[in-house]
Amino acid sequence: MFDLVGNLALGFAVALSPMNLALAFLGCLVGTLIGVLPGVGPIATIAMLMPLTLKVDPTGALIMLAGIYYGAQYGGSTTAILINVPGEVTSVMTALDGHAMARNGQAGIALGMAAIASFFAGTVATLVIAAIGAPLTKLALLFGPAEYFGLMVLGLALAIVLARGSVLKAIIMVVFGLLLSTVGTDLETGQERLMLGIADLSDGIDFAVLAMGLFGIAEILRNLDNPEARNVVGGHVGRLLPSLMDLRRCFGPILRATGLGSVLGILPGNGAVLAPFASYTLEKKLADDPSRFGKGAIEGVAGPEAANNAGAQTAFIPLLTLGIPPNAVMALMVGAMTIHGIIPGPQIMIKQSNLFWGMIASMWIGNLMLLVINLPLVGLWVRLLKVPYRLMFTIILVFCCIGIYSINNNPSDVYFTAFFGLVGYVLIKLGLEPAPMLLGFVLGKLMEEKLRQALALSEGSFLTFVERPVSAGLLVIAFAIIIIAVLPAVNKKREAAFQSEM
Amino acid sequence: MAGLVVIGMAVFAFWQGADLPIGTLGGMGPGMLPRSLAVLLGLLGALLLVGAMFEAGVPLEPLSIRGPVLVLGAVVAFGLTVRPYGLIVAGPLAILISAFASEEVRWAETIVLGAIMTAFCIGLFKFALGLPIPLAPWLIGY
């Protein structure tokens, strides 16, 4: 406990330096600005804005990136409430009741409540990270390659189950992602693999390029196919601050959602996606009058938003302690860390405790800033959302191009982005969801490395994964999850659940 | 349909990785993982194909041509022009080409937008952030 206070004090000392405060502020601001644009989720936002942080020192860069992430997340909720276009899966639930409230002339209250719920959840999640970061790091140091491999298999299994659509298609996408991750120079022998003779691929496919293609460009192509049916809620946003009664009504939901989100966010394999959905379902079950949900129930905004934000933040835990990115956003963080020469994993906390605790403290500061930035700027976001899409997408496209070019100053990255944009578009049309593929790609390199290490240690015997209790346990859970998801009864329920989400 | 595409990708990956040494389980060669993943992908694709034959297929959403060609064309055009001609050419070009992907395109509006956006990006990325992105090497030398 004493440790915790001391560590947090160190963190705040780092995060409160004028430079880092300014970076966190800037990150939140531009993150929200880009995140508000319809069809641009956190993944595309971070990939686009990563070059902004290249000139900053590592700690500052990560603080700023984290700010961009929260900003993008919150911007997505704003879009969901105001125009019913959720930027990504996690704000789908917010759109249901949030947009209904906006139509009832309560857009301001919905936005205010979302901000307050997010802030509360963010505060708790920051404490959770601070409290369990250190013990988990110690645990991580005991993990061998077999355990890491098992943990990543579990992550992929969760990603498969959490994906929309058929389980088989999700498995295919994960395998495809793993296959893509093997492109480039082999880790151990230095041999070139699957490069099609393209020299620019020798370092493998850049993750930012893949993510931008699949989530930036492909999204634009898809939106162009569906002519816009946006109805921006009229000029008046109304009062921003919820009444005391609203607050009291939302207190329980926020508390429960924060718990749910914090736990689910830690799971490898994008558990955070599940959090808002779980919270919404829970509140609907617990409500005195469930029929209000979907028609503008304020709990239906507060719960999912709190869950979303808590999960978004605790997702940092696997990255910072184990070095395993649990979702695509965290994989981009790995990319950014690598550019600055930081290797994510248990060593960060030990060797670079300034950076580790500074980043954690800045998470709380970032959440506070979002509250301060967003409430006064709501009017600006509303006006921004009135720009017609035919102009908006060209702007998004140019930002994408400049962002991708600037990461490596390499025009070929821009071509690859275009290529993966096309791939993403075709996959979406074929009913294959790109999200699990991205996670397969993210974990692929690390998994191959650990698999080879484990097998080299055991001299080629797969029994090593079963003989070690931790890795055996993780693998059993992973297979159990998949098998349960394929069982007809559960499968039907799962499909129904995703249907109602749509 | 999706099944066929998946099988196609698997075959392609297998063919590309065919000449890589596999090694043994204890000392895996660079080819082992790509090849086993390609085989796995092919099997899963076949499973999808067989499954699709037995149930009424959902009709495919039509693929449009205009949007993808122009948007991707704009991205490629940006990549081609940014080095030799700089942002001053690449920015407006990308906006101009991509604007035609939407059926509601308007000439005047697009040109004005292209000019404003390029000026804004130059201000932001070049001067405020100091990124080494070329502006107009043929005109001012950087």
Average pLDDT over residues B20-24: 52
Between chains, do B37 and A182 touch, taking CB under 8 Å as contact? Answer: yes
What is the pLDDT at residue B54? 61
Average pLDDT over residues B6-12: 64
Q: Which of A194, A402, A455 has the CB atom closest to B125's CB atom?
A: A402
| Confidence category of residue A184, pLDDT binned at 50, 70, 90 | low
Res B25 pLDDT > 60: no
What is the pLDDT at residue A430? 75
Residue A116's alpha-carbon distances to A26, A300, A361, in angstroms, are 21, 14, 19
What is the pLDDT at residue B117? 76
Note the residue count of chain A.
502
* Cβ-based contacts of B75 with chain A (< 8 Å): 217, 397, 400-401, 414-415, 417-418, 421
Determine contact: A430 vs chain B, CB below 8 A: yes
What is the pLDDT at residue A271? 65
What is the pLDDT at residue B99? 76
More confident residue, A409 or A307: A307
Give B119→chain A minimum CA distance, Å.
12
> Chain B residue closest to A459 (CA)?
B26
Determine contact: B95 vs chain A, CB below 8 A: yes
Chain A residues 327-386 within an 8 A CB cutoff of chain B: none
SS3 A166: coil
Contact yes or no for A65/A421 (Cβ under 8 A): no
Of the listed ranges A183-197, A455-469, B22-36, the least confidently predicted one is B22-36
Mean pLDDT of chain B: 68
> Chain B residue closest to A167 (CA)?
B48
What residues have CB less than 8 Å from A468, skipping those under 6 apart? Answer: A144, A146, A147
Among candidate residues A380, A144, A140, the one with its CA nearest the CA of residue A268: A140
Determine contact: B50 vs chain A, CB below 8 A: no
| Confidence category of residue A502, pLDDT binned at 50, 70, 90 | very low
Give A100→chain B minimum CA distance, Å.
29
Give A149→chain B minimum CA distance, Å.
14
More confident residue, A365 or B6: A365
Contact yes or no for B79/A401 (Cβ under 8 A): yes
Q: How many CB atoms lie within 10 A of CB A135?
A: 10
Helices A107-142 and A92-103: crossing angle, nearest 10°?
170
Mean pLDDT of chain A: 77
Terminal alpha carbon distance of chain A: 44
Give A48→chain B minimum CA distance, Å.
12
Between chains, do A51 and B101 touch, taking CB under 8 Å as contact? Answer: no
Contact yes or no for B23/B32 (Cβ under 8 A): yes
More confident residue, A1 or A48: A48
Assign residue A184 a region: left if phi > 0, alpha if psi is -120 to 50, beta otherwise?
left
Determine contact: B11 vs chain A, CB below 8 A: no
Q: Which of B37, B71, B125 has the CB atom closest to A179's CB atom?
A: B37
SS3 A184: strand
Determine contact: A288 vs chain B, CB below 8 A: no
Average pLDDT over residues B43-67: 65
Interface confidence, given as ipTM, is 0.79
Res A281 pLDDT > 70: yes
Give B106→chain A minimum CA distance, Å.
9
Over pLDDT 70: what percentage of chain A? 85
Contact yes or no for A319/A267 (Cβ under 8 A): no
Chain B residues 22-41 within an 8 A CB cutoff of chain A: 24-31, 33-34, 37-38, 40-41
| Confidence category of residue A75, pLDDT binned at 50, 70, 90 | confident
Among candidate residues A329, A301, A456, the one with its CA nearest the CA of residue A66: A329
Instruction: Find which of A53, A153, A394, A455 to mutate to test the B interface (most B CBs within 10 Å of its CB).
Output: A394
pTM: 0.80
**Which two three-digit tokens encode residue A254?**
């926020």
Determine contact: A215 vs chain B, CB below 8 A: no
Instruction: Render pLDDT for A105-146 as a digit per residue (tens, 0 to 9).
Output: 777 888 888 888 888 888 888 888 888 877 777 777 777 777
More confident residue, A129 or B23: A129
Q: What is the DSSP string of B15-43?
A: HHTTTS--B-STTB-TTHHHHHHHHHHHH
What is the pLDDT at residue A488? 63
Give A398→chain B minimum CA distance, Å.
7
Query: How far is residue A125's CA from residue A64's CA, in Å, rounded to a whole number?
Result: 18
Average pLDDT over residues A462-469: 70
Determine contact: A255 vs chain B, CB below 8 A: no
**Which two three-digit tokens encode residue A73?**
């997340």
What is the pLDDT at residue A501? 46
Average pLDDT over residues A318-346: 81
Instruction: Render pLDDT for A24-44 as a digit per residue (tens, 0 to 9).
Output: 888 888 888 888 887 777 888
Res B51 pLDDT > 50: yes
Between chains, do A430 and B2 touch, taking CB under 8 Å as contact? Answer: yes
Range picked from A59-68, A401-410, A463-472, B100-109 for highest mean pLDDT = A59-68
Between chains, do A188 and B30 touch, taking CB under 8 Å as contact? Answer: yes
Instruction: Render pLDDT for A366-409 as a digit per residue (tens, 0 to 9).
Output: 888 888 877 777 777 777 777 777 777 788 888 888 888 877 77
Instruction: Find which of B19, B53, B78, B133 to mutate to test the A interface (most A CBs within 10 Å of its CB).
Output: B78
Between chains, do B2 and A388 touch, taking CB under 8 Å as contact? Answer: no
